[in-house]
Structure 1
Amino acid sequence: MRFVSLFLNNRLTIAPETLVNDSSLEAVSFSEFSVVEQPPLNPTFQYDEKLQQILYGKKLLFDEISFTVDQIQKHYENGYVKYSTGISKTSNGYLCSRCGNEKIRLFAVFSCFRCKNDNCVYCRNCIMMGRVSECTPLISWSGPEVRWPDENNLFWNGELSIGQQLASQKFADNIGSDGELLIWAVCGAGKTEVLFKGIEKALNLGLRVCIATPRTDVVLELAPRLKAVFPNTKVASYYGGSEERETPAQLVISTTHQLYRFKQAFNVMIVDEVDAFPYSYDKTLQHAVSLAVTPKHFLLYLSATPSRTMKKATQKGTLQCGKILKRFHGFPLPVPKMVWGGEWKKRLERGKLPAPFLKWLKAQVESGRRAMIFVSSVSVLEKLTELIKKEIDLPVDSVHAEDPLRKEKVSQFRNEDIQLLVTTTILERGVTVPYLDVAVFGADHDVFTESALVQIAGRAGRSKDDHDGEVLLFHYGKSLSMIQAINHIKSMNKEAGI
């Protein structure tokens, strides 16, 4: 976007060229302003509370705000809105102020209609959130803080296990202070319930809380549960396509990618499944977390399979740790069984299912239980689903990351409208369905790491009324990851004394 420099109220300021009718003023790209001076706050200005709630603790593009450029500019001129550079030049290249990307290969140029430049630089790393370019200002709130309601009481009558109680108290004791805590809890330990007490304390102290998770499916599962137990609190969920992204909220449940849009917003940050892809591999997502928290903040990490780095930090005492070794119902984690399935890739190419897998499939139909079948890729998913539908007469469907009906299908599976769901690893975490068995088709594939298999196994046996769901690993040769995953689960059961 192009801006012009002009004097307003005896001060030099800037304004979008579309709002200035003086042809003598030269319009230049926003990136050409080395310093953008912030106008002083005008206490007599009647600011718009909705705009305050949308921008508070965020940095957004003009296109992401449901206000006109004129309305935003008036707030800027009166000191309530701040403009900052989206892409800035550095000694090594460029820096994206939204996602923190500095990798040259993740920047590109395009012919920009707004700034009339044929080589306007933009960031490819966070392009899915809307394009940030050299001429793009990021807009944030610089006026009064949002006031949150005083009543944030927890409405929950459940009981915590001894392990849950200890972890819950450890989290609550740290609220109001700086620091970090890892809660290392087995799959199905009831991590969400462990958070309730600490979240309630934080909310009643007037603090803002975020639960960040790598997967949209987890956000969709957590949001209604937290809204139910905190009925007087402003709660919103943030994910791609969310209708609540303009909703002001003291408690936010968000995908880690959505944190690119926040700046110094949260006093308490809870990073769920801290070991999961893409968060564990993407430095810009970790950077987003660091930007989304206030200078004084508390970080809580949740994981069933923490990284070696985290494990070493807990052993050295540089990272506090609370362990939950048992599931909330007290029964052991299901130990996966390895089943030789033959050359499953060749069988699929020939349009046939491996005999051991077909035998299990038919037995599964007779049992009347639901099942999740995990596969290594979308191509395998499509072929396998087609063959399964030919063999059994049950509601069968499939889902993957780019599936436009992903949300609806997971909901149908929970509601028992789908009996058997074939899925990629997108559903390895955060999805809880009772009376469920799990199979991994082609478990020897590289995509099924130790942590992935542990998480997949954790989908079974999560209900106290059905604690021994079956987990089968169909393979064409045992992989190291399969062996490590089984040993990991046996070790956690042994450490828990069950």
Structure 2
Amino acid sequence: MKKSELYGRQLCLTPREAATLPADVQKITGIQVSGTRIQCMRCGEFLNPREAQLPNNQYYCYACLNLGRNSTLTSLYHIPEPNDFPQRPTCSWQGQLTVQQRTCAQRVRENFEHRHRHLLWAVTGAGKTEMLFPGLTWALQRGLRCALASPRVDVCLELAPRLQAAFVDAEIALLHGRNPAPYRYCQLTICTTHQLLRFRHAFDVLIIDEVDAFPFAANPRLYYAVNQAVKPHGALLYLTATPSQELLRQVRRGDLEISYLPLRFHQHLLPMIKVTLQPHWWQVIKRGQLPNRLRRQLARYQQTQQRFLLFVPQVAQLAAVQAAIQRALPALRGLTVHATDPDRLAKVQQMRDQRVQFLITTTILERGVTFPGIDVIVLGADDPLFSTAALVQIAGRVGRSRERPTGLVWFLAASHARTIKRAQRQIRLVNRKGRRLRDAMPVVSTIDSK
């Protein structure tokens, strides 16, 4: 193992595996046992002694087992981050930020410089990634180690080529559970938030994209991973279009600074949600047919070659919806995709490459992926599995390109559920703020977080 593979990392090794490590490596207790209190020092989980029990009064962590077994028979090995980066990458991006984007980008850079914790709340399609470039350029030029983490592997796969194109001479590590490539010590890392559990005080600048998304939002171990991966005096930036109430409470307490941008980069407003009541859509689908209004809309897509995403609440519904479409409109070419689909990454790439016209999917594609010029249809939009934030994010897939800044966002539902009404209200509110900004205000940086 190269010494650099332990820089800012914490790897779980047995004494035999650790025998050849450099002399300056630090050994950290993997599982801390204090009476009946047992805590994993890698993921922070407090363990149930019965569930964590091994023979001979030994224990292991079942919470982060997918990263390799951490137990009282192993230790975590670590070398403090030396920032050993002889090269200083430069930004080769030639695009132009809008006035509003430049203001937010300046705030981001300032918070990197002062090592603050910061929330960038910007509507879907506002250009959050591009707003990071000035701050990342500042950090990379000073030899700081940076990471951009997301709960979703699809987001990481979309971010990696964009950041590589913006920083052509930078070596970028892409880390996720499905990547077979060996680990490389790089100044800039793009990874899933689960991968942060392998780091310890590594990053001077840590950016968490889609901070309100599953599984990050509901997983205290991933918050533990973030606080462990960033240096004690490092900068932390959260990115989202739909902040949780907890994030906004942190803003009100003064624990987080905030920047807010309610307008997309092309200065157009968010497409509004159109709702059609279709109480028995699933019964119709199960008979192998399409509801009439849906069939007519898809027939128009077949004729115009308009690309689209079709969302359904449950994985079990994907095959039936696809079969009904193929039966009614065989010329339409699309695929189904869901979170545990073994071909998920390849299918999403086919949609990116425009080799298929549509995807039928679940909330796994609600955020973080961009397919320019698409429309969106949601079947069963009133289902409890679609939260208000999810519906807003789904609507945000539409109108993201300058060439087609509008499009159809169509919800078919049995009722005007509260989640749908809240999503419509949130988009109207953002559009009202965006219109006011576009028409009267040259810049925007901070808001009242109420």
TM over 0.5: yes
Superposed, 1:136-175 pairs within 5 Å as: 136-141=74-79, 145-175=82-112
Deviations 1:396-440 (A, max 9, x none): 101111111111111100111111101111111111111200011
- 1:105 to 1:275, Cα distance in 2 relative to 1, 3 A: farther
Match of 2:443 in 1: none
Give structure 2 stretches of 5+ with no counterpart.
Answer: 439-450
Corresponding position: 1:56 with 2:7: yes
Per the alignment, in what secondary structure is the counterpart of residue 11 of structure 2?
Answer: coil
Per the alignment, in what secondary structure is the counterpart of residue 75 of structure 1?
Answer: coil
Structure 2: distance between partners of 1:466 and 1:178? 38
Match of 1:104 in 2: 48
**Which deviates the most, 123-132 or 399-408?**
123-132
Select the structure with the greater relative contact order (CA < 8 A; seq sep ≥ 6). Answer: 2
Structure 1: distance between partners of 2:212 and 2:49? 26
2:251 to 300, 314, 321: 314
Partner AA of 2:431 in structure 1? N
2:422 to 484, 487, 498: 484
2:146 to 192, 200, 209: 209
Partner AA of 1:278 in structure 2? P
Corresponding position: 1:475 with 2:426: no
* Aligned-residue offset at 1:342: 2.3
Match of 2:444 in 1: none
Task: Indicate the RMSD between aligned Cα atoms, in angstroms.
Answer: 2.0
Per the alignment, in what secondary structure is the counterpart of residue 382 of structure 2?
Answer: coil
Deviations 1:208-227 (A, max 9, x none): 11111110000000011111
Q: Is the 8 A contact 1:53 1:146 kept in 2?
A: no
Partner AA of 1:74 in structure 2? T
Deviations 1:432-477 (A, max 9, x none): 1112000111101111111100100000100011011111011111
* Aligned-residue offset at 1:229: 1.3
2:131 to 194, 206, 214: 194
Give structure 1 stretches of 5+ with no counterpart.
Answer: 1-49, 111-116
Corresponding position: 1:85 with 2:22: no
Partner AA of 1:340 in structure 2? L
Superposed, 1:85-484 pairs within 5 Å as: 85-104=29-48, 107-109=51-53, 117=55, 120-141=58-79, 145-315=82-252, 317-392=254-329, 393-484=331-422
Structure 1: distance between partners of 2:428 and 2:45? 41
Partner AA of 2:295 in structure 1? L
- 1:432 to 1:106, Cα distance in 2 relative to 1, 3 A: farther
Structure 2: distance between partners of 1:106 and 1:466? 57
> With structure 2 as the length reference, what TM-score do the two structures score?
0.92
Match of 1:73 in 2: 19
Per the alignment, in what secondary structure is the counterpart of residue 308 of structure 2?
Answer: strand
* Aligned-residue offset at 1:245: 4.8
Q: Is the 8 A contact 1:340 1:356 kept in 2?
A: no
Q: Is the 8 A contact 2:38 2:49 kept in 1?
A: no
Per the alignment, in what secondary structure is the counterpart of residue 336 of structure 2?
Answer: strand
Structure 2: distance between partners of 1:106 and 1:320? 42
- 1:474 to 1:367, Cα distance in 2 relative to 1, 3 A: same
State how many pairs are aligned. 435
Structure 2: distance between partners of 1:85 and 1:314? 35
Per the alignment, in what secondary structure is the counterpart of residue 196 of structure 1?
Answer: helix
Structure 1: distance between partners of 2:321 and 2:313? 11
Structure 1: distance between partners of 2:71 and 2:268? 53
Q: Runs of 4 or more off by more than 6 Å in structure 1?
A: none
* Aligned-residue offset at 1:58: 0.9
> With structure 1 as the length reference, what TM-score do the two structures score?
0.83
Partner AA of 1:85 in structure 2? T
Per the alignment, in what secondary structure is the counterpart of residue 382 of structure 1?
Answer: helix
Q: Is the 8 A contact 1:341 1:356 kept in 2?
A: no
Partner AA of 1:352 in structure 2? Q
Deviations 1:322-381 (A, max 9, x none): 111110001110111001122123333333332222222222212211110111111012
Percent identical across equivalent pairs?
A: 38
Q: Is the 8 A contact 1:182 1:321 kept in 2?
A: yes
Larger-Rg structure = 1
Deviations 1:55-76 (A, max 9, x none): 111111349xxxx956x41335
* Aligned-residue offset at 1:275: 1.2
Partner AA of 2:392 in structure 1? V
- 1:459 to 1:245, Cα distance in 2 relative to 1, 3 A: farther
Structure 1: distance between partners of 2:184 and 2:38? 33
- 1:128 to 1:389, Cα distance in 2 relative to 1, 3 A: farther
Deviations 1:2-48 (A, max 9, x none): xxxxxxxxxxxxxxxxxxxxxxxxxxxxxxxxxxxxxxxxxxxxxxx
Structure 2: distance between partners of 1:138 and 1:407? 32
